[in-house]
Structures are given as C-alpha cells and as structure tokens.
Amino acid sequence: MSQDWMKADDPLQCITVTGSERNDMVVISGYSEGLHCIGVGTDAAVFTYEPAPGFAYKVYSDLALEKKAAERHVYERLEGIPYFPQYYGEGRNYLVISHEPGVTLQDCLLQGIPVPEQVIQDVEEARAEVRRRGLNPRDIHLKNVILQNERGKVLDVSEYVLEGDDKRWEHLVWAYRVCYSGFEGKKIPAWLLDAIKNGYARLDQANLSLDDFAQRISQLFSKFLK
C-alpha cells in the first residue's frame, strides 16, 4: 500500500491551488476524474483520489510551498504517535498522509453529536507526545480535531514548528468543562458558532475575562436553545 499513493501524481497535476496575499482561503481550479476536495485552508487544499483509497493529498499553493518542507519534517518527527495521520511521501507541491475519516468537533456541535471525554484526553496526550518530540503543539481547534470511533485524532500539524502558545486548545478544554454540559447533544446553528468565534477573537480588545465571556455565551444559548 505504501507506494499506491503515487497513482494520484498525474491527476494532481491537473489541479491548481491558488493562494492569497491577504490570507484568504485558497482557490481551486482544474479537474481530474476521481479527485475530491475534502478540505480547504489558507495555505493548501486536501484531496482524496478514488483509485488510491486510504490516502489524503495536501496540495499547497505556490505562495505556501516553503511550508511544505516544514510540515513534512513535523510528520516525520511524529511518526508512530497514533493521534496523528501517518505520513507516506511527497510530490512537488503536496504531501501524502493517511486519510482519516471522522467528524470534526465543529461538525459535532453543528450536528448535535456528543463529544466524549475520551476525545479531550486523547488530544491532551497527543500534545504531551508532541512536546516530547521537541515540537510545539499549537493551532488545535474545532476544525482540526476529529471524532473517530469515539476517540480523538488531530489533523494539521503545520504550526508545530512555531513558537508561542495560542491557548486555543486550553480555552476549548475550559469551555468543555464549564459550558458543554448545558448543550451537549443539541444542534448549534452555524451563525451562533460564528458569533462565538468572532467574540472570542475580540476577547482582549473587549477587556473581558473568560468567565464573563462564558456568561454572555450562556445567555445566548439560553435564548436560542429553550
């Protein structure tokens, strides 16, 4: 299986992923039968290829090609840790990793799928393992943690070579412990999640504590989820 990923090399050359200087989402152009886009970010898009199941192809824009080598390096250092995709190889502008089926934590909230405590524990252990490998586990959020067979798996390791702690995961764990029981299993509309995300992004500017922010969010939920 390890070399089957090369079947997608020619089809991937028919796809162009265009980045933006403004850090917008990449734009995809081109077509090749059997290729399916399963994710889009600001640096790259992720594809699967029907004749090579089990693989995912992260295709970088030309503006972000320098990040490909750094991410490959991270995956090589994380080899053997079960909480991350497996790395298989690379092409000119893409990395090949295992395709990990599952539902993101964001989709769990949108669809009302309960998130078990085990997922939180798995991500905590994943972060500890990353530190033991000399890397920095940051940029872990609702869209890059998936629920897979009632366990947690972490996607997107691109920022693990950067310094600093963005506190995103720590704050999510705090919200899980403090707030989640009040709406577990209920479908949260996308506009409400966006409102929370936007409010969180302006937390420092608004001079609010996490407790004050949580109280405001709880009031929003109580009005909508009666």
215 to 35, 197, 223: CA distances (angstroms): 45, 15, 13
CB atoms within 10 A of CB 77: 17
Assign 97 to helix, strand or coil: strand
Q: Tell me how far apart the 2 most distant CA atoms of the chain are, in Å.
A: 54
Q: Which two tokens stand for residue 41?
A: 């970010």
Fold of 103-224: Transferase(Phosphotransferase); domain 1 (1.10.510)
Q: Which of 4, 9, 107, 139 is catalytic?
A: 139
Where does residue 3 rank: exposed (0-12), middle (13-18), buried (19+ CB within 10 A)? Answer: exposed
For the stretch 13-42, pLDDT in tens is 999 999 998 989 999 999 999 999 999 999
For the stretch 109-165, pLDDT in tens is 999 999 999 999 999 999 999 999 999 999 999 999 999 999 999 999 999 999 998
pLDDT over 90 for what percent of the chain?
A: 73
Q: According to the model, what pLDDT value does residue 197 have?
A: 80
Distance, first Cα to last Cα, the chain: 51
Q: Confirm whether 139 is a catalytic residue.
A: yes
Torsion of CA 51, 153, 197, 62, to 10 degrees: -40
Q: Which among 84, 87, 91 has a CA at the least distance from the CA of 76? A: 87
β-sheet bridge partners, residue 90: 95
Domain residue limits, the chain = 4-98, 103-224
CB atoms within 10 A of CB 119: 21
Q: Which two tokens stand for residue 79?
A: 């080899």
For the stretch 213-224, pLDDT in tens is 767 666 666 666
For residue 46, pLDDT over 60 is answered with yes
- Spatial contact of 4 and 55, defined as CB atoms under 8 Å apart: yes
pTM, two decimal places: 0.88
The CATH superfamily of 4-98 is Phosphorylase Kinase; domain 1 (3.30.200.20)
DSSP strand E in 82-196: where?
87-90, 94-98, 103-104, 145-148, 151-154
Q: According to the model, what pLDDT value does residue 77 have?
A: 96
Q: According to the model, what pLDDT value does residue 166 have?
A: 87
Work out the mean pLDDT of the chain and round it to a whole number: 90
Q: According to the model, what pLDDT value does residue 175 have?
A: 87
